[in-house]
Structure 1
Amino acid sequence: MSRDEYNTRMEVPMFLYKQLDDPQQILPLATSAFALRPIEQGAADGWLASSVKHGCELYGVYEDDALLAGFMLYDFQMRLRSCVVPMGGIGLLCSRLDARGKGAVRFMIQNSLDTMMQKGQVVCVLDPFDETFYRHYGWEKFSRCQIIEISPNLLKVPERLGAGITATDLPFPDEASMSFYNQYAAEHYTLAQRTQREWESRTQILSWSTDTAARGVVKFFRNECVAGLMGYDLTRKDGEDRPTFHANLLACEDEAVFQEMLRYLRQLSHQVATLRICLPLDRELWPYLSDRPAKSTIRDLFMIRIVSLDLLDGLRMDAPDMSLGVDVVDEQAPWNHGVWDLTITSGVLRVQRGQRADLRCGIGALSSVVSGFSSFAQLIASRHIESLDTYQGQDLPKTVTFLADYF
């Protein structure tokens, strides 16, 4: 489909899509959509103003003078395979209660993809309220984590070997800590880079977070250099005598630093009742436990969607040389619709328009495979991807995906 044909299709007379210039415009929608109580609305107002001040953008769809739906667009840099690429994060997607079924949200999502493409954002990530809803628009499962709840006394860590590692609790990461984290994020999982803006968002405590007493980081120092960083929340609910320590980020150079993080957590036994540790799926904690945890769960986190196949061209990845034709179905972003040749040579993905397809799939399935969360073989077996006669088993290796931010 040509750009002119796309623009014609997007011109729905009853709706107007545009950037919102005042955060107050979306607050009534958010209040009803997320059932914000009066005590929470003031904090939401402040959070919206702060988010816009720090670079987030608000967009919405109008019918005449009435705002029917809106969302917040974040601008991230996220590791995808072996590259750090621009990623659009969608949050606060909401609509009027009486706007359901009018097509305003569909119109907004279609336009949001065009907005992200114009910004050069390669993929879009969101934390879904309903996976089925977003799967209909081209997003697919992308990230999981393991959450382990234990008493600090359950941790059994070997004695220290070699040079000591020191730990310092900080309410906000210093420059050395932020630099360490961004280098780590560029080399591990699907982590996003964090600037001062992201750290401020991550460490602030909003008034509706009535259980949260503190947020911060613990810096681990070795040989005069940062060797690890732990992000945490400290919470206590009404009626509880002792708090829970949530370790939501454990970035470390090696196993020795990871062990030092566990020693630090064990030493909290006199202050906290429970440790709640969030880890990527490939990080094993059981060798350091004396007994089974009180609770251990696998949690689905984010969904991902390719914004523009053209923008994937040049992506570096650890994958064997291969060539594959894919007939992509994408009703929301027609610039992706059609047959594409995906070729990997010396670890570089080349993407261009093609003529012959070996596979046929929706953009969501392809997004999950490109991210490393799934594989062509897995999704062919589950009938999410159709294998055509010319397919010869080409595939991309799976990787461990993990995104530690939220929005």
Structure 2
Amino acid sequence: MRIRQLTKEEAAERVALSEFAFQLELTEQQREERKTRFRPEEQWGAFDDEGKMLSALHLAPLEIYIGQRSLKMGGVAGVATWPEARRHGCVAKLLAHALEVMRGQGQTVSMLHPFSFPFYRKYGWEMTIERKQYEIESKQLPAIEGFAGQVVRIPKEASALNGVYERFARRYTGMLKRSEEWWEQRALSKPGLAALYRNGDGTPEGYILYDVRNRLMTVHEWAALTEEARRGLWSFVANHDSMADKIAMTVPVDDATSFWFADPRFKQEIIPYFMSRIVDAAGFVAQYPFLPGSADEALTITLIDRHAPWNNGTFRLEWDRDGTARMQQTERQSAGAGIACDIQTLTALLLGNRRPEQMARWGRLQGDGEAVSVLERRVPSLTPYLADFF
């Protein structure tokens, strides 16, 4: 089996594989559009000795926000295998190769949307992002007051929305840093309209991307930077009561709409959504926004990673007072505080907002109480969220 990048000439076969694997029914125009957007440098395939494509995946060079910082991220998508090649280790080899490629490209973290959570957990990815989904009857919407600005419908253009989006995205762990191309081809490609909230001074503080049809208002995306913007956007939604009997929307898990509403008994679901994986632990730790402390601190961490050998071993993790951290492999367990965990647990701690003390209680983090306390002090509470799909 050989792993290599695809060529431009293999675009049609790659599209056909995706159509089959994901049971897509593309029109000829959609196939041509996919071929036009095909970037062979982002596509990797597993081939047999005769050069036949067995499996493929898309490795997208993206960036995500973590605690106000943007980090390079390898987005794994479109993982597909022809049925005659399944259960022959093709995807396992592709994923192992992708980890090496991401490390070489400085992508210290990876994310993907799994067809199966257990499958990708075997290779070091962990569930980090959940989303909350609402279904609200229009009659449950309260009268909204207390805002001085207004909501106006605007053309669906990235330039009008990205400023609000970036300020909103930086509040969460896992939100994409969107390019103009991503806005046009992804975020704004869904049917419907856009509306912007401007405060009393005319400053944009929120927006909504939505569609209304068949008595249902679907909110594709929602961002409110202030309490005033939140009230203004909900008032705008309520003004569609003559057109829609229900509102469906997806929000971060920390959204408190049910508390704000007089009648909180509407349908709410927490949906497991995306998985993440630390690709290069030392590189990731050096960029991560740890909290400052009263003094320099350190601990020893024994990390288990069966698919990325550079992460597998014992490391000394050190923090400066200002939160700057470094992680270096060491020959042996040094004196002082120490912990042990696998790469999934470390990913959940730093990207999934699973607290160290919580993970220790669950048996996912082993170590003495002093080491767990150091982590508890240094790891910030960051709510994971992703508004996009890839």
Deviation readout 1:216-272 (Å, 9 max, x if unpaired): 43211222321112233x265xxxxx2422224322221011110100110111122
Which stretch shows the higher mean deviation, 189-198 or 130-139? 189-198
Q: 1:30 to 1:372 in 2, by over 3 A?
A: closer
Is 1:190–2:144 an aligned residue pair?
no
Deviation at 1:397, TM superposition (A): 4.0
The structure-2 alpha-carbon separation of the partners of 1:76 and 1:360, relative to structure 1 and needing over 3 Å to count, comes to: same
Give the RMSD, CA atoms, in angstroms: 2.5
Partner of residue 122, structure 2: 136
Equivalent pair of 1:152/1:267 in contact (CA under 8 Å): no
Answering whether residue 205 of structure 2 is matched by residue 219 of structure 1, we say: no
TM-score normalised per structure 2: 0.88
Q: Do the aligned residues in 1 keep the contact of 2:300 with 2:333 (CA within 8 Å)?
A: yes
The 1:135–1:174 alpha-carbon spacing in structure 2 relative to 1, beyond 3 Å, is closer
Report SS of the residue matched to 2:381.
coil
- 1 CA distance for matches of 2:216 and 2:315? 50
> Which of 29, 35, 38 is equivalent to 1:49?
35
Give the Cα separation in 1 of the matches to 2:300 and 2:95.
27
Instruction: Give the CA deviation at 1:43.
Output: 6.1
Does 2:388 correspond to 1:405?
yes
User: Following superposition of structure 1 onto structure 2, how do residues 6-405 of structure 1 map, counting pairs within 5 Å?
Assistant: 14-21=1-8, 22-37=10-25, 40=26, 42=28, 45-46=31-32, 48-49=34-35, 51-52=37-38, 57-64=42-49, 65-161=51-147, 164-203=148-187, 205=189, 214-222=191-199, 223-232=201-210, 234=211, 236=213, 242-321=214-293, 322-345=297-320, 346-354=322-330, 355-356=332-333, 358-387=338-367, 391=371, 393-395=373-375, 396-405=379-388
Offset of 1:32 from its aligned partner?
2.4
How many residue pairs align between the two structures? Answer: 376
Residues 260 and 120 from structure 1, CA distance in 2 versus in 1: closer, same or farther, beyond 3 angstroms? same
Segments of 5+ residues of structure 1 without an aligned counterpart are: 1-13, 206-211, 237-241
Are residues 388 and 101 of structure 1, via their aligned partners in 2, closer, same or farther at CA, if it must alter by over 3 Å? farther
**338 and 20 in structure 1: CA distance in 2 versus 1, 3 angstrom threshold:** farther
Tell me the distance in 2 between the aligned counterparts of 1:72 and 1:111. 12
Q: Which moved more, 1:26-35 or 1:262-271?
A: 26-35
Distance 1:88 1:399 in 2: 20
CA–CA separation in structure 1 for the residues paired with 2:32 and 2:353: 36
Partners of 1:250 and 1:202 lie apart in 2 by 15
Give, as a single letter, the amino acid of the residue that structure 2 aligns with 1:399.
L
Once residues 42 and 136 of structure 1 are traced to their aligned partners in structure 2, the CA distance between those partners, rounded to angstroms, is 37
1:27: how far off? Answer: 2.1
C-alpha distance after superposition, 1:166-218 (max 9, x if no partner) = 2222352342421232233234443211121111122465xxxxxx7x23432
Note the C-alpha offset of 1:135.
0.3
> Cα deviations across residues 74-125 of structure 1 (Å, max 9, x unaligned)?
2222112342111111111111111112111110000111111122112101
The structure-2 alpha-carbon separation of the partners of 1:87 and 1:215, relative to structure 1 and needing over 3 Å to count, comes to farther
Partner amino acid, structure 2, of 1:304: S
Unaligned runs of 5+ in 2: none
Tell me whether 28-37 or 286-295 shows the greater mean CA deviation: 286-295
| Cα shift at 1:284 | 0.4
Greater CA drift, 167-176 or 297-306: 167-176
> For the Cα contact (< 8 Å) 2:282–2:326, is it kept in 1?
no
- Further displaced range: 138-147 or 396-405: 396-405
Query: Could you say what secondary structure the match of 2:253 adopts?
Result: coil
1:4-36 CA-partner distances (Å, limit 9, x unpaired):
xxxxxxxxxx32332343421212322221122
Output the amino acid matched with 1:370: L
Identical positions, percent:
22
TM, length-normalised to structure 1: 0.84
Letter in 2 for 1:356: Q
1:359-402 deviations in whole A, cap 9, x for unaligned? 22221111111114212222222222333698453323432111
Whether the 8 Å CA contact 1:20–1:59 is kept in 2: the answer is no
